Homo-oligomer: A and B are copies of this chain.
């Protein structure tokens, strides 16, 4: 089962799928930077947070610099741009303009086939 998650969009969305990581990003956006600070509000061990940080780093969502023993994280939201663009392609669908078309097709299908169940 080879699976590298080559695609950067894969990694971005996967990184965002975890609530802890989304919270970490939110903290980063507000300026929190050191691992210990980022870890504090999360009810889990430091190594667990460290792993999350690596996932975010690999996804390109944060950059890390070492200053002595302290690692300082910096949010890098650039990968989110691509994600936003991908999602935006579906805007017209959730905005409802196509719901009407869907409803129409739906009705059409029902009347032409007469076989629906439950």
CA–CA, A68 and B66, complex, Å:
62
Main secondary structure, interface of A, reads helix
Q: How many residues of A contact B (CB 8 A)?
A: 43
> Do A67 and B116 contact each other (CB < 8 Å), given the known contacts A77-B93, A87-B80?
yes
CA–CA, A94 and B86, complex, Å:
15
Distance of A55 from chain B, by nearest CB (Å): 12
A74 is an interface residue with CB less than 8 A from chain B = yes
> Do A87 and B90 contact each other (CB < 8 Å), given the known contacts A10-B17, A17-B17, A19-B10?
no
**Are A74 and B90 in contact, CB atoms less than 8 angstroms apart?**
no
A25 is an interface residue with CB less than 8 A from chain B = yes
Residues on B with C-beta less than 8 A from A53 are none
**Are B17 and A68 in contact, CB atoms less than 8 angstroms apart?**
no
A64 is an interface residue with CB less than 8 A from chain B = no
Contact of A13 among B7, B13, B94 (CB under 8 A): B13
Distance of A21 from chain B, by nearest CB (Å): 10
Contact with B along A10-50 (1 / 0, CB 8 A): 10011011110010010001000000000000000000000
Given contacts A9-B22, A65-B106, 5 further A-B contacts (CB under 8 A): A10-B18, A13-B16, A66-B117, A74-B102, A77-B90
